[in-house]
Every structure is written in structure tokens, then in C-alpha cells.
Amino acid sequence: MEIIKVLLEASKRVYDNVKHMPGTKESGGDFGRGAGGDISRRIDIVAEKTILDYLKEINFDCVVLGEECGKVELSKNPKGFIIMDAVDGSTNAVRGLPFFCCSLAFATNNRLSSVTDGVVIDLSRGDRYYATKGKGAFLNGKRISVNNDKNPIYFVVGLDISGISPKVLGRLSPIIASSNHIRHFGANALEFGMFSKGLIDVFIDLRDKIRVTDIAAGLLIALEAGGLVVDKNGKPLDSDLGYDNKLSFIAASNKKALDDIMDKLNHI
């Protein structure tokens, strides 16, 4: 089976298994901190188990890197890594805010740049954003691309500032002061999907808090949709797949928008 089909089927099973949970008491609880460091909620546990069970069922030879479960070796001869955040936006899910997703990626080696397939499924609507390297990005079977409008008056800027330090917030302030439409919906992987569909023009997270499990799928989808994604020094975003990596990124729909953001960041 093609790898993208494995990821799509796994994401569909997560959707089916958790869709009754959001906003209910059943979704929450506190199951201690997962491998990624966040508090695990019941919906996270159910979603991860769904994926692990499926990969075992089809004897998929891989090593799983999970937000909650950590590293799970499903084979002695793995083809590669499955990188999963089974529920990104768990707080939204538990509260019933309709914005959370499941992020699944496959990498051949121990680096983000070796991700070949990625799926982000919107768990409140069932929409699936996905990409295979070199083959473009899709939403429910339809090709998608980043917005090519270059008029900054209407730019929508996604910005994650939750828990950000005053110093980094200060660095962002010229961008914030000049943006009329700042958004944060609370599930970064899904916001990468929306960026890839052209709904958001720029997406920035400079908190040094993003893990590879959060971004592996969204990054590939964004790049395949024609987006530019760099680290805080302006270099193409990459890292190994270690849990300790805490990343920052700037995604922009075109070079002009990216240059404008980098200029504003560097003029403090």
C-alpha cells in the first residue's frame, strides 16, 4: 500500500474514534505529561492508540514517534518513521472549540527534510489536507496552493504567542502593529493546512516550542502547496527528529511577504 494511503486511513480511523468526544467530560482528564511534555488528555490517548493499533494491524514496519507515547519500535527492520501528534489542539478539543486535528507524517530518515508523506485531518469537520513529496498538496482530493495575492491590506497573519517571553513579543511588535488581521486558532498543524489552502498568508511561531511531531506533516503540505517555511534565521526549516528539538518557524505565501516579515524582525 502507498504510504500516503496508510496515513489517510489512520487519520480517518482517528476521526471516527474521537468525533463524539470533543466538548464532553470524556475527552479530558489529566493523564500525566506525555513524551512531548504536554499534559495528556483522554482524547490524546484514544487517538494515539487508534493509530498504533492500525499500524500493528497492517504490520507496517516503522518506528513511531508520538507526542504522548514517545518512541515505539514496531519493527526490527523499519522502513522509516511515523511522526504523529494524534491530537493537535487538545485544549480546543476538550473545551469544544471546533479547531483541532490529527497530524501524521512519514520520514525515511531521522530528519524533517526526509518527510515524504504527510496528512493533517481536521477532526471537527473531517477535512483532510495531505501531500506526498514532489506531487503537490491536496484537500479532500483537490489540489491546493498558498494564496498568491500580494496585497498586504488584506493579509491574514497567523501568530502563535501563547506563553511567549516579553523579549520575543517585543521583537514581533512591528509585525503586530502593522497587521490588521492577526489570528490564532490553537492547532498549529491545522493552521499549516489553512495556510496551504490560501486562507492565511503568513504564519509565525517564534516561541522555540514547536516539536517535530507538531510540524512534520504541516511543513511538507505547506511546501508542496508552494509556501516558504524558514527558521528564525531565514534558513529552510529542518532538524533531526529528536524530542528535545524546540523549533520556531516563519511560513509565508511568497518571497515578498517573507522578506517583509524578516525585515520587520531584524529592525529592532
Is residue 93 within the footprint of its own copies (CB under 8 A)? no
Q: How far is the CB of 256 from its own copies (least distance, A)?
A: 19
Using N-to-C axis directions, what is the helix angle for 3-18 and 42-57, rounded to 10°?
Answer: 140
Residue entry with cell 518513521: 81
Is 137 one of the binding residues for its own copies (CB under 8 A)? no
Give the span between the Cα atoms of 252 and 53, in whole angstroms: 37
- Scanning residues 145 to 164, which ones bind its own copies (CB under 8 A)? 153-154, 156, 160-164
Candidate segments 128-136, 173-181, 214-222, 230-238, binder of its own copies by CB under 8 A: 173-181
Q: Which of 20, 181, 255, 256 binds its own copies (CB under 8 A)?
A: 181
- Residues with Cβ within 8 Å of residue 99, at least 6 apart in sequence: 89, 92, 124, 185, 186, 187, 190
Give the whole-angstrom CA distance, residue 225 versus residue 32: 37
- C-alpha cell belonging to residue 179: 497587521
Which grid cell sits at 60? 507496517
Query: Dihedral of CA 45/46/50/56: which sign?
Result: positive
Distance between CA 195 and CA 43 in Å, rounded? Answer: 25
Size of the site for its own copies (CB under 8 A): 35
Q: Does 91 bind its own copies (CB under 8 A)?
A: yes
**Which C-beta is closer to its own copies: that of 78 or that of 226?**
226
Tell me whether residue 34 or residue 80 sits nearer to its own copies (CB atom): 34
| Whole-number CA gyration radius for the chain | 18
Q: Which is nearer to its own copies, 52 or 164 (CB)?
A: 164
Taking the complex as a whole, the smallest distance from the CB of residue 27 to its own copies amounts, in Å, to 12
Cβ–Cβ under 8 Å, residues 203 and 230:
no
Any idea what DSSP says for residue 178? T
- Whole-number minimum distance, CB 29 to its own copies, in Å? 12
Binding residue for its own copies, selected from 7, 63, 65, 94, defined by CB under 8 A: 94
Binding mask 183-202 for its own copies (x = CB under 8 A): xxxx-------x----xx--
Q: Which of residues 15-44 bind its own copies (CB under 8 A)?
A: 39
**Shortest gap between Cβ of 144 and its own copies (angstroms)?**
12
| Cα 162 from chain centroid (whole Å) | 16
C-alpha cell at 76: 526490527
Binding site for its own copies (CB under 8 A): 39, 91-92, 94-97, 153-154, 156, 160-166, 169-170, 173-174, 176-186, 194, 199-200
